[in-house]
Amino acid sequence: MLVGEAPGRQEDLTGQPFVGAAGKFLDELLASVGLSRSDVYITNVVKSRPVSGPPPGRNRAPTPAEIAACVPWLQEQLGILRPKVIVTLGRVALDYFLPGRRIADVHGRSIPQGPVTILPLYHPAMVLYRRDWVRMLRKDFRNLRRFLDE
Ligand code: URA
């Protein structure tokens, strides 16, 4: 199970997670380690688009209140799916599953949490236009592959 932050504009319009630019990059990262969308379940912590300004508006970070309001749905998804591995994409999802941990310290590592293993990754949208970070994210995906293979 991969958990991102919140829908962007494309996601809000289609009702599907990660279908915009970040989603295309995510598909490519998954494919680079032999995974496709049909192998994983993808969702977000926040279930509707945090937006500011007049339509179409700009994406913004979700507030703590918005996160708290959406947590029951995420918990329901977790209860139904019972994933063994949860990949957090970005800070918001990391904060939910491993509060207080810094992404710079834990990215790419598998962290056991009871019956679940959390594998924190940087958010694809954040690294998209930074070549060094893209390299790091690709490496973290290879760690994910290695972890799944083991
Ligand atoms: N960013 C996210 O965190 N989630 C999406 O679904 C799209 C972009």
CA 35 to ligand 1 center in whole angstroms: 18
Instruction: Please name the amino acid found at residue 136.
Output: M
Question: CA 37 to CA 105: how far, in whole Å?
Answer: 28
Q: Are 4 and 41 in contact (CB under 8 A)?
A: no
Distance CA 50, CA 138 (A): 28
Q: Is 140 in the pocket of ligand 1 (CB under 6 A)?
A: no
**Ligand 1 pocket, 50 CB below 6 A?**
no
Give the global pTM.
0.97
Mean pLDDT of 12-40: 97
pLDDT higher than threshold 90 for residue 15: yes
Please give the mean pLDDT across all residues of the chain. 97
**Matching residue, tokens 């179409």:** 56
Q: What is the pLDDT of residues 60-101, one digit of tens each?
A: 999 999 999 999 999 999 999 999 999 999 999 999 999 999
Q: CATH for 2-149, among 3.90.470.10, 3.50.50.60, 3.40.50.10310, 3.40.470.10?
A: 3.40.470.10
In this prediction, residues 107-134 reach a mean pLDDT of 95
pLDDT of residue 129: 84
DSSP result, 73-117: HHHHHHHHH--SEEEEESHHHHHHHSTT--HHHHTT--EEETTEE
How many Å lie between the centroid of ligand 1 and the Cα of residue 10? 9
Does the C-beta of 18 come closer than 6 Å to ligand 1? yes
**128 pLDDT band (50/70/90 cuts)?**
confident
| Ligand 1 in reach of 2 Cβ (< 6 A) | no
- Residue that the structure tokens 């496709």 belong to: 36
Q: Residue 43 is which amino acid?
A: T
- In this structure, what are the phi and psi dihedrals at residue 40, rounded to the nearest 5 degrees? -130, 165
16 CA closest ligand 1 atom index: 6
**Alpha-carbon distances, residue 91 vs 57, 98, 106, 117, 150 (angstroms):** 22, 10, 11, 17, 26
* 147 Cα–ligand 1 center, Å: 24
To which H or E segment does residue 44 belong? Answer: strand 42-44
